[in-house]
Amino acid sequence: MRKTRFTDEQIATVLAEARAGMSTQEICRKHSISAHTFYAWRKKFGSLERTEVRRLKDLEQMVTRLERIVARQAVELQAAQEVIRGKW
């Protein structure tokens, strides 16, 4: 997937301009994006503010990290149970 040239906070700022009353065409022209991109951003971020977007991203990173930890512990637990049963 292609990396975007806009950060999540910048996207939230662009969407805030739309909520302030600026037309979609003006916003797309100003930021050099397509209307499709604008609507995709609006679908993804909705009415989130910049701080909420940053908090959401931090939470997603924390969940990913915790999922990795749980998966690693599950594998270690399964290996320990096999050793206890004598299946190694």
Does residue 78 sit within a domain?
Answer: yes
Of 87, 86, 10, the residue nearest 54 (C-alpha): 10
Predicted local confidence at residue 41, as pLDDT:
92
How many structural domains is the chain composed of?
1
Predicted local confidence at residue 34, as pLDDT:
94
Q: What is the DSSP string of 5-50?
A: SS-HHHHHHHHHHHHTT--HHHHHHHHT--HHHHHHHHHHHTT--H
Does residue 56 sit within a domain?
Answer: yes
Residue 80 sits in a domain of what CATH number? 1.10.10
Predicted local confidence at residue 35, as pLDDT:
95
Alpha carbons within 13 angstroms on the beta-carbon side of residue 7 total 8
Six token digits for residue 30: 């100003």
DSSP state of 53: H
Predicted local confidence at residue 24, as pLDDT:
93
Q: Which domain holds residue 57?
A: 8-85
Does residue 30 sit within a domain?
Answer: yes
Does residue 46 sit within a domain?
Answer: yes
Predicted local confidence at residue 2, as pLDDT:
66
Query: In the chain, which stretches have pLDDT less than 70?
Result: 1-3, 87-88
Predicted local confidence at residue 56, as pLDDT:
87
